[in-house]
Structure 1
Amino acid sequence: MIGPGGKTIRGIQEDEGVTIDVEEDGLVTIAGADEASVKRALARVEALTASVQVGRIYQGTVTSVKDFGAFVEILPGKDGLCHISELADQYVSSVSDVCRVGDTMMVKVIAVDEHDRVKLSRRAAMREAATAGKDDGAP
């Protein structure tokens, strides 16, 4: 979370006008002149320390497009691969037909392997969102 030479923490402190202390045991203390800046800093720290959860849906940003799929950042500094077969229910001939670098997309974490590589599915996220959006049979 601290980053090389404290760069990450210093950046948050400068951007938000707060003081951040990280104890040896991992306890983080944030102090600032106003509640809004402390809340913004806290949100950024929480995002840095969040872990990827299998089964959870994230709104991510496409960081790279390859022939075999798209890499999507789902948490700060944490990305995963959405394989071309997981981009849509129908056949996708080219990843660039579905997304481009910088696009945001909803993806579901379907697995994290033993090397901490994250496998994503846009198809599963879209299905789940469609199911959640249906009513309980009312016309």
Structure 2
Amino acid sequence: IEDDGRCVIYHFDREMLNKAQAMIENIIRDAKVGEIYEGKVTRIEKFGAFVELFPGTDGLLHVSKISYDRVEKPEDVLKLGDIVKVVVTEIDDKGRVNVSARDLLEKPEGWDEAQKAKKEAFEKRRNSEGGERRVFKKKD
């Protein structure tokens, strides 16, 4: 590794050079919002699944981002080792990566209207039960 950050590798076998280069690139690689990956499901939790985007970097695929259809439990749809096509939707200030498979699927016809109707029904039910809504803004 040179002082300017360059990494130089030498070998007589081109295949070994390519393999070493790929290993180094995976070590220094960063996920970026908007990039699409075919990742492997490495862990399943109640709230979603963790997908390995590339060695050393996992993204959380929340249960609500698996499909446009309602998914009760991630294990109903996914299993360990499955390869899932996902897009990076967010990287938070702690470096945690969130991904979505749903955003790569074609949106079902009428989906926006159905979501709006569900939200309105929820608001109406909450208001009729005497609920109170407070909105807070995080202070800088």
Give TM-score scaled by structure 1 length. Answer: 0.72
Quote the Cα distance in structure 1 between the aligned partners of 2:80 and 2:44.
6
Instruction: Give the drift of 1:76.
Output: 1.1
For residue 10 of structure 2, give the secondary structure of its aligned residue in structure 1: strand
In the TM superposition, what are the counterparts of 1:50-69 in structure 2 within 5 Å? 50-69=29-48
- Amino acid in structure 2 at the alignment position of 1:115: K
Asked if structure 2 preserves the Cα contact closer than 8 Å seen for 1:106 and 1:126, the reply is no
Which protein is richer in strand relative to its size?
1
What are structure 1's unaligned runs of at least 5 residues? 1-21, 129-139
The match for 2:11 among 27, 32, 36 is 32
In 2, are the aligned partners of 1:72 and 1:82 still within 8 Å (CA)?
A: yes
State the secondary structure of the residue aligned to 1:101: coil
Where 1:31 maps in the other structure, the secondary structure is: coil
Gaps of 5+ in 2: 108-140
C-alpha distance in structure 1 between counterparts of 2:12 and 2:106, whole Å: 45
Following superposition, the deviation at residue 36 of structure 1 comes to 1.7
Secondary structure, counterpart of 1:38 in structure 2: helix
Partner Cα separation in structure 2 for residue 98 and residue 23 of structure 1 = 47
Indicate the residue corresponding to 1:46 in structure 2: 25
**Is 1:103 matched with 2:82?**
yes
2:48 counterpart of 1:73: no
CA RMSD for the aligned pairs? 1.5
Secondary structure of residue in 2 paired with 1:30: coil
Tell me the distance in 2 between the aligned counterparts of 1:71 and 1:47.
Answer: 18
- Secondary structure, aligned partner of 2:105: helix
Secondary structure of 1:107 counterpart: strand
Equivalent pairs: percent with the same residue?
37
TM-score relative to the length of structure 2: 0.71
| Matched positions, count | 107
